[in-house]
């Protein structure tokens, strides 16, 4: 695609998203009641993950917070507890499938059934493609793509069994527009934007809606660094 045309498409998409957000602000839909729900947020040590955890805490949800950064995770937990929430923290490296599955089992056994999963953890390497190291590219795909699959596989079956749940995926606007120093990162969210906004609503969601009342949402934003 011509770069100028790509920029216009990106700006058009961005303006549409802002217009949609404005309409929803002026004509809000009925909010989902989350009081007492067990909410798991990945990448909760800072940034959007911490802000998301605080918002759920204000709405009196019970929180399970995951991140690889213990210090930031503790700070988030302290803030949320100050808002009156019950908080459980787990130091989890979301690039490692075994850690995700192990932590998920501990949550289910010791705390209860997660009813809202927010896949927010994300990593970025700001460099051109040839300067980005192989292990950095692998890390981005492991956290930004595969971790979403592992967490969903861990918690979706129980949500379907209970016919109650909500899975939220935080993606990035970088999936819509590429710059020279974010090519590898763009590949992550181009792939995930496609899988989230195309495959789930148009195909899988049609099947899942017949089987369960579990909801799926994709939020275009920027996740906190894992």
- For residue 187, give the 3-state DSSP assignment: helix
C-alpha to C-alpha distance for 79 and 58, rounded to whole angstroms: 10
Annotated catalytic residues are 185
C-alpha to C-alpha distance for 214 and 61, rounded to whole angstroms: 18
Residue-range definition of the domain harbouring residue 182 = 36-220
The pLDDT value recorded for residue 211 is 56
Sign of the CA dihedral 20, 23, 25, 28?
Answer: negative
Count of domains for the chain = 1
C-alpha to C-alpha distance for 225 and 68, rounded to whole angstroms: 9
User: Is 51 inside any structural domain?
Assistant: yes
The pLDDT value recorded for residue 223 is 40
The 10 Å Cβ neighbour count of residue 195 is 17
79 and 50 in contact (C-beta within 8 Å)? yes
Sign of the CA dihedral 77, 59, 165, 170?
Answer: negative
88 and 104 in contact (C-beta within 8 Å)? no
Backbone angles phi, psi at 221, to 5 degrees: -160, -150
User: Is 17 inside any structural domain?
Assistant: no
The 10 Å Cβ neighbour count of residue 182 is 21
User: Is 23 inside any structural domain?
Assistant: no
pLDDT in tens, 51-102: 999 999 999 999 999 999 999 999 999 999 999 999 999 999 999 999 999 9
User: Is 16 inside any structural domain?
Assistant: no
The pLDDT value recorded for residue 201 is 45
202 and 142 in contact (C-beta within 8 Å)? no
User: Is 28 inside any structural domain?
Assistant: no
Mean pLDDT per 10-residue section of the chain, whose length is 226 residues? 76 86 84 92 95 96 97 98 97 96 98 96 69 76 90 95 92 60 52 44 51 61 42
The CB-based long-range contact list for 132-137 (8 Å cut-off, 24+ gap) reads 132/183, 132/184, 136/184, 137/184
C-alpha to C-alpha distance for 153 and 197, rounded to whole angstroms: 19
User: Is 160 inside any structural domain?
Assistant: yes
Total-model pTM: 0.72
C-alpha to C-alpha distance for 55 and 59, rounded to whole angstroms: 7
CATH code of the domain in which 202 resides:
3.40.50.720
User: Is 44 inside any structural domain?
Assistant: yes
């Amino acid at each position: 695609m011509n770069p100028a045309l790509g920029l216009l498409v990106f700006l058009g998409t961005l303006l549409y998203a802002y217009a949609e957000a404005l309409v929803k602000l002026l004509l809000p839909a009925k909010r989902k009641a989350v009081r007492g729900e067990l909410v798991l947020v990945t990448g909760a040590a800072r940034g959007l993950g911490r802000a998301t955890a605080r918002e759920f805490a204000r709405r009196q949800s019970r929180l399970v917070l995951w991140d690889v950064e213990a210090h930031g995770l503790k700070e988030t937990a302290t803030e949320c507890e100050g808002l009156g929430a019950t908080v459980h923290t787990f130091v989890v490296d979301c690039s490692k499938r075994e850690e995700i599955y192990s932590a998920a089992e501990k949550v289910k056994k010791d705390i209860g059934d997660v009813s809202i999963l927010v896949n927010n953890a994300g990593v970025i390497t700001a460099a051109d493609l040839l300067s980005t190291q192989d292990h950095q590219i692998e890390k981005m795909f492991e956290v930004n793509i595969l971790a979403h699959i592992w967490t969903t596989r861990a918690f979706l079956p129980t949500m379907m069994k209970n016919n109650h749940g909500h899975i939220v995926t935080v993606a990035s606007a970088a999936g819509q527009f590429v710059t020279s120093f974010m090519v590898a990162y763009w590949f992550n969210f181009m792939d995930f934007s496609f899988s989230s906004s195309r495959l789930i609503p148009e195909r899988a969601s049609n099947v899942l809606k017949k089987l369960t009342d579990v909801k799926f949402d994709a939020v275009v934003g920027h996740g906190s660094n894992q």
